[in-house]
């Protein structure tokens, strides 16, 4: 879910002041300069499941999320979708196409009602030159993305589909706040969501969870998945 930030619009459909206030990339930019950057953005609204940006799009714009939630996806081969990241209010995306020579390589869809500010490539590059602190923050973020993607590729290449489902369940699980020593996943994502993060198809997710349920490693109660033996799932993941 988003962090609760709400962006309001005036009668002309433009955002009230503060559309970029929570964008972390601009956290060191003075307010007056930030307002000027807002005026340079084209502000767009998206409904859940709308495509915000698609692969092979030739635009070079950069997107800043004022409120809402989007999902960044790519593909294994031509068919299987792999979820790369969720982006929430305060995040940005599209900067790789702006600073590099390549066309878009990922699809971005809205998960919730979402408002984004779209800044042209030329204005974004000018902003990086005008505010060195923004450039340094961007470099730090890109370094993190590279490291996390390397780890993700390594996991995908060294594990079989069933193991990747187990790893995703481990990533989602948290200690049961009610106590008792169990771990829980709540609310339980759809099989499609788990499949996207794990890079597998939905049938593989159903089979993996079904196997764990039959072995009483976990159980489903309404919209909660209760994990009784986290160590067993870790062992089965091979990691």
pLDDT in tens, the chain (239 residues): 344 444 445 434 455 567 899 999 999 999 999 999 999 999 999 999 999 999 888 899 999 999 999 999 887 666 677 888 999 999 999 998 999 877 787 899 999 999 999 999 999 999 999 999 999 999 999 998 888 878 877 777 788 999 999 999 999 999 998 888 899 999 889 998 999 888 888 999 999 999 999 999 999 998 899 999 999 999 998 87
Q: Do 45 and 142 have their domain in common?
A: yes
DSSP reduced 3-state for 237: helix
The total number of structural domains that make up the chain: 2
CA distances from 47 to 3, 9, 66, 90, 116 (A): 17, 16, 14, 18, 12
Task: Enumerate residues 6+ apart whose C-beta is below 8 A from 106.
Answer: 53, 55, 72, 73, 74, 84
Q: Tell me the residue range of the domain where 185 lies.
A: 161-237
CATH number (domain holding residue 189): 1.10.10.10
Q: 153 and 41, same structural domain? A: yes
Shared domain check, 62 and 120: yes
From 158, 184, 201, give the residue that closes a domain: 158
Q: Is residue 106 part of a domain?
A: yes
The conformation of residue 73, written as its DSSP 8-state character, comes to E
Rounded to two decimals, the pTM is: 0.76
138 and 169, same structural domain? no
Structure tokens that stand for 123 in this block: 């204005």
DSSP string, 85-139: EEEETT-EE-HHHHHSSPPP--EEEESS-EEEEEE-HHHHHHHHHH-HHHHHHHH
CA angle 92-94-98, nearest 5°?
125
In a domain, 73, yes or no: yes
7 DSSP 8-state letter: -
Query: Which 3 state secondary structure label does DSSP give 227?
Result: strand
The answer on 113 and 151 residing in a single domain is yes
């Amino acid at each position: 879910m988003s962090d609760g930030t709400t962006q309001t619009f005036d009668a002309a459909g433009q955002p009230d002041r503060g559309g970029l206030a929570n964008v972390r990339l601009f956290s060191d930019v003075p307010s007056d300069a930030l307002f000027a950057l807002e005026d340079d953005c084209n502000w767009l609204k998206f409904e859940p499941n709308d495509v915000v940006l698609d692969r092979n799009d030739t635009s070079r714009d950069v997107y800043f999320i004022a409120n809402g939630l989007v999902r960044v996806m790519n593909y294994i081969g031509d068919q299987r979708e792999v979820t790369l990241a969720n982006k929430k209010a305060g995040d940005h995306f599209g900067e790789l196409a702006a600073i590099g020579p390549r066309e878009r390589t990922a699809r971005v869809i809205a998960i919730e009602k979402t408002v984004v500010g779209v800044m042209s490539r030329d204005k974004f590059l000018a902003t990086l030159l005008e505010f060195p602190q923004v450039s340094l923050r961007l470099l730090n973020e890109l370094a993190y993305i590279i490291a996390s993607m390397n780890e993700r590729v390594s996991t995908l290449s060294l594990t079989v589909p069933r193991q990747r489902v187990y790893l995703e369940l481990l990533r989602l699980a948290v200690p049961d706040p009610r106590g008792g020593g169990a771990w829980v996943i709540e609310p339980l994502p759809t099989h499609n969501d788990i499949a996207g993060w794990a890079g597998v198809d939905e049938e593989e997710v159903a089979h993996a969870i079904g196997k764990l349920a039959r072995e009483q490693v976990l159980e489903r109660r309404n919209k909660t998945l209760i994990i009784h033996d986290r160590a067993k799932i870790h062992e089965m993941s091979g990691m």
